[in-house]
A and B are shown apart, each in its own frame.
Chain A
Amino acid sequence: MSREMTGAEMVVQTLIDQGVTTLFGYPGGAVLPIYDALFQQDSVKHVLVRHEQGAVHAAEGYARSSGKVGVVLVTSGPGATNAVTGLTDALMDSIPLVCFTGQVPTHLIGSDAFQEADTVGITRHCTKHNYLVKSIEDLPRILHEAFYVAQNGRPGPVVIDIPKDIQFKSGKYEKPRDNQHKTYRPQIKGDLSKIKAAVEMIAQAKRPVFYTGGGVINAGPHAAQLLRELVRATGYPITSTLMGLGAYPAHDQQWLGMLGMHGTYEANLAMHGCDLMVNIGARFDDRITGRIDAFSPGSKKIHIDIDPSSINKNVKVDIGIVGDCAHVLEDMVRLWKDVAGQVDKPAIKAWWLQIEGWRARKSLAYKNSSDVIKPQYALERLEALTKDRKRFITTEVGQHQMWAAQYLHFDEPNRWMTSGGLGTMGYGLPAAVGVQLAHPKDLVVCVAGEASVLMNMQEMSTAAQYRLPIKIFILNNEYMGMVRQWQELLHGGRYSESYSAALPDFVKLAEAYHAKGIRCDDPAKLDAAIMEMIDYPGPVIFDCLVAKEENCFPMIPSGKAHNEMILPDFEGDTGEIIDAKGKQLV
Chain B
Amino acid sequence: MTQSQSAYFLSDAQPPTRRHTVAVIVDNEPGVLARIAGMFSGRGYNIESLTVSETEHEKHVSRITIVTTGTEKVIEQIKTQLDRLVPVHRVVDLTVQGEALERELCLVKVRGKGDTRVEALRLAGAFGAHTLDATLNSFVFELTGTTEEVERFIRLMGAVGLVEVSRTGIAAMSRGAEGMLEAALPDGAQGR
- By a beta-carbon cutoff of 8 Å, the part of chain A in contact with chain B is 120-121, 124-125, 128-130, 132, 134, 149, 153-154, 182-187, 191, 286, 291-293, 307-309, 311-314, 316, 320, 322, 558-559, 581, 584-586
Contacts and interface: CB of A to CB of B under 8 A. Distances in A.
Given A286-B7, A307-B84, A313-B77, A183 B192 contact: yes
Interface stretch (B28-36, B108-116, B136-144): B28-36
A26 to B, nearest CB: 26
A558 B7 contact: yes
B71 to A, nearest CB: 12
Interface string B24-48: 0011001100110010001000000
Given A187-B189, A308-B188, A132 B5 contact: no
Query: Is the interface on chain B under 10, 10 to 19, 20 to 34, or 35 or more residues?
Result: 20 to 34
Contact of B80 (A191, A291, A292, A309): A309
Interface stretch (B86-94, B152-160, B165-173): B86-94
A134 B192 contact: no
Given A292-B10, A586-B7, 7 more contacts: A134-B30, A153-B84, A183-B26, A186-B84, A292-B9, A307-B84, A584-B5
A311 B188 contact: yes
Contacts of B89: 182-183
B54 to A, nearest CB: 16
Given A309-B80, A312-B76, A581-B3, A124 B35 contact: yes
Contact of B84 (A124, A308, A314, A316): A308
Contact of A286 (B8, B27, B85): B8
Contact of B190 (A186, A293, A307): A186
A55 to B, nearest CB: 24
A120 B86 CA distance: 14
A584 B8 CA distance: 12
A187 B190 contact: yes
27 contacts: A121-B31, A121-B34, A124-B34, A125-B38, A125-B42, A128-B86, A129-B86, A134-B30, A149-B86, A154-B84, A182-B27, A183-B27, A185-B190, A191-B188, A291-B10, A293-B11, A308-B80, A308-B84, A309-B80, A309-B84, A312-B76, A558-B7, A559-B7, A581-B3, A581-B5, A585-B5, A585-B6
Interface of B: 3, 5-11, 26-27, 30-31, 34-35, 38, 42, 73, 76-77, 80-81, 83-89, 188-190, 192
A183 B34 contact: no
Mostly, the A contact residues are loop
B46 to A, nearest CB: 18
B188 A314 contact: no
Contacts of A559: 7, 10
Contacts of B86: 128-129, 149, 183-184
A585 B10 CA distance: 10
B93 to A, nearest CB: 14
A291 B3 CA distance: 13
Q: Give the top 5 A-B pairs by smallest Cβ distance, nearest first.
A: A309-B80, A322-B188, A129-B86, A585-B7, A584-B5
A408 to B, nearest CB: 28
A27 to B, nearest CB: 27
B190 A124 contact: no
Contacts of B85: 129
A316 B74 CA distance: 12
A532 to B, nearest CB: 43
A183 B5 CA distance: 39
Contacts of A125: 38, 42
A185 B7 CA distance: 34
A381 to B, nearest CB: 35
Given A124-B35, A584-B5, A183 B87 contact: yes
A500 B54 CA distance: 57
A501 to B, nearest CB: 31
A108 B34 CA distance: 22
